[in-house]
Amino acid sequence: MARVIVLVHAPVLGPASWAGVAGEVSRAGNRVVVPSLAGFADGGSPFTPRLVSRVAGQVRCGDGDGVVLVVHSGAGVFVPHLLSALGGGDATAVFADAALPRQADPGTVVDAGFLPYLRRLASGGVVPPWPRWWPDEDLAPLFPDQATRQAVTSEAQPLPFAFFEELVPALPDGWPPCRAAYLAFSEPYRREAAEARQAGWPVRELPGGHLHLLVDPGAVAAAIMDLAGQARSAGSSLRSLP
């Protein structure tokens, strides 16, 4: 069975955030796709279907292919929709310092508690690019060097505030079958890692910043592939989340 590794970047960033990890995973002999979400916010709401179709349109996989879907940060909430759109007969999701989707009730794209901060940043209904959300002294340690910082931050674009407050719709037929695992980097995502453990998922911690995938792509790539294998062996399920 062929295996396709799909690395989905945070909606506020771009494919460059996964470039180092993609190279490592590819050199190990895997087929890797790093889809770009650029332009998904064009045309207004609803944003979720357009974001999902952007990813699905860049990934080719058949019913017999095994898909390892790896999501970073805010891309995590879209996992059920992404899996449903990608198809593939055998799926595993690895959440890398990522938000978790919710089954019980539709939730906003970002945690509701963070919306007031984004509302204050917004001007004319538009939130500035992600690098402008934080003071430079907080942002600088996230990058290994200036060249990487420039490559990643140059892809960040302003986004409508309406995107962040949009409710991610429930799937009409429930969540697709999928094994799952969690890879934690930073302190703000420890809660998600704990929830993943409670759900019976394999969990790994690589302590660092939220963009640790830039700082140590080799270790992150190895952890992703190891977790995907553990999830397959353990049979951990995306559906076990509350």
- The rounded mean pLDDT for the chain is 93
> Token digits for 25?
């995973």
Q: What pTM was estimated for this model as a whole?
A: 0.96
* Three-class secondary structure of residue 181 per DSSP: strand
Long-range contacts of 216-219 (CB under 8 A, 24+ apart): 217/20, 217/21, 217/23, 217/24, 218/24
Architecture of 3-240 per CATH?
Answer: 3-Layer(aba) Sandwich (3.40)
| The pLDDT of residue 155 is above 60 | yes
Taken in order 147, 152, 158, 164, the sign of the CA dihedral is negative
pLDDT value of residue 178 = 93
Phi and psi, residue 220, nearest 5° = -65, -45
* Three-class secondary structure of residue 163 per DSSP: helix
Confidence label for 173 from pLDDT (cuts 50, 70 and 90): confident
Asked if 241 contacts 195 with a C-beta cutoff of 8 angstroms, the reply is yes
- Per-residue pLDDT reduced to its tens digit, 14-69: 999 999 999 999 998 899 999 999 999 998 999 999 999 999 999 987 656 689 99
* Other C-beta atoms lying within 10 Å of the C-beta of residue 170: 16
CA distances from 3 to 7, 66, 91, 218 (A): 13, 4, 9, 19
For residue 187, what are the contacts with CB-CB under 8 A and spacing of at least 6?
Answer: none
Peptide bond into 46 cis (omega under 30): yes
